[in-house]
Structure 1
Amino acid sequence: MPPTPSQLNAQRCREFVSTLHTTPYTAIDPSQVKLPSPFVVCIIGGRGAAGGGLARAYARAGTSGLVLAARNRSALEETANEIRSINPATKVIVAECDITSSDAVEALAHTTKAEFDGHLDVVVVNAGYTGPITDVVEESPSDFQTAFNVNTVGAFHAAHFLLPLLLQTESGARSFVAISSMAVPIVTGFAAHSHYCASKAAQARLVELINEQYASRGVFCASVHPGGLRSELSKDVPKAFLHFLCDSPDLVGAFAVWLTKTGGSRQKEVLNGRFLSCKWDVTELETRFDEILEKDLLRLRVAVD
């Protein structure tokens, strides 16, 4: 049976460029980046596989301040200690935060503002939730609701309370990144379960809306697929598919640094508001910049012929 248009589109998205990476490489090596000072990053979901990779990358790039937020404070302390060993000059703040709670995210914004004198360059929303992989009849309503509360409403909370700090930081990176998933463009296959795919697609649309509303004020935003990672979110993946989870958590961290570092790079103009994969080779991605703008690629759309 030939692949459906949806399957073909998902395949094209995964392989948007011909070279796909599993580990950091020279073009995005964060240790070769010198971030300005001050440079403050807030990572919501600053633990686990992707959270640790993100934190390590910004520390290696010389970020002066790092806010690590999640519900589990003890796990955050482990990440914080690792960051202090990588870069003792980085001021690390650990904050308990449930991204589904508007009060908790508002408190996180107040903490960030107080600890760094209102300076904030980058927000990375890495909190995520997925339940068992089933169909719409078998999956529980609570999993569906929780997925939207964490993946979509949580991203809104982060934007609502932290975008003002990005906007107030003059000459800052003003970057808002949502750690997304290749589940966004798929509707078939083992990973196509409704609560995760639908909530991540809604999150990606929210990022597009942020772009439309705030790009004119200097805000850069993107949805970033973090690769296939062994993490808490992968606990329900069938064993037959675990071999696909082979990417280094440090890859998404390095890609995020490349994406959000300050400077006059054209990448922010072209990639603002779009869906990206950290696995894509950035040199090859740059060769498609004109095409991305001309065809308005890497966005959600309803095809009308």
Structure 2
Amino acid sequence: MSERRLTPLLLAGLVAVLLTGVAIGPFPLSLRQIAAVLSGGGDSQSATVLWNIRLPRVLAAALVGAALAAAGAAYQTAFRNPLVSPDILGVSAGAGFGAVLGILLGLPVLAIQLTGFATGLATVALVLFLSFSLRGGGQVLVMVLCGIAVGALAGAGISLVKLLADPEQQLPAITFWLMGSLAGAKRADVLAALPAILAGLLPLVLLRWRIGLLALGDDEAKMLGIEATRLRLMIIVCATLMTSAAVSMAGVVGWIGLMVPHMARLLTGSRFDRLLPAAILTGAAFMVAADTAARSIALTEVPLGILTAVIGAPVFVWLLARGSRGWAE
């Protein structure tokens, strides 16, 4: 499908999912009520639900989905590996460790999010430092292996914090956060995460044609005037910013960064300049739909991480079975 047709269709689908997410909930809102509130009218109860509860949560879900999908698409192209996800360098485990440590220390919600964001960045900074310090540093394989090691260390730290946490109050909060949720998303959370996500996303969008050349291999990219190591480092920094911001706001939500780029690739092919916008829109719509289902399919809210795994694993297997295109074609 041509880009001129695909992008409007994906935008229309995202708008439809956003409206559905805003309308569905314990206090349902009709399209007429939504339109009345957005135009400055409507009753006070509908306005409170829309502005203070429903809209911040839906926008937070869209931001998280777009950030994780864009980071996953960039990582898969930069590392030339279709099985790479945004947490390949340990950013999710690092952000999770910071957040659960904040819960253990009794910090307020905003401080917990900032701690998770900072430790996510620090984890990837440590991975890069180790990979460039080791013999053969800067190579993709060295980075990935360092990421696995540091991520495992952060995971051990999470286990230690869970062991030390109060089993009556802190441990349930830690467990629920690690499974992913947007139940407490507020306008302040969206505004706090938005700058980091935009700061990571904008360079990827502006350099999407150059990033696409990395799929050809470092030698071919260098022949075309691309400094592969420097560009890959920039991608890592941008993807880490977005992933840390997403994890600090929503907790650890898996499969989005791995699965959604493959879904978008079936629509656009593997050209990164076309793949990135499709992944952003598809990721945002998928995450909003998943969050809407998480708060609607049962009396108690289903953690996002469980729902995305239940949906993501079968869909990913189906994509692997169906996909006839090579990821780097």
Normalising by structure 2, what TM-score?
0.28
Counting strand residues as a fraction of each chain, which structure ranks higher?
Answer: 1
Higher RCO, 1 vs 2 (CA within 8 Å, ≥6 residues apart)? 2
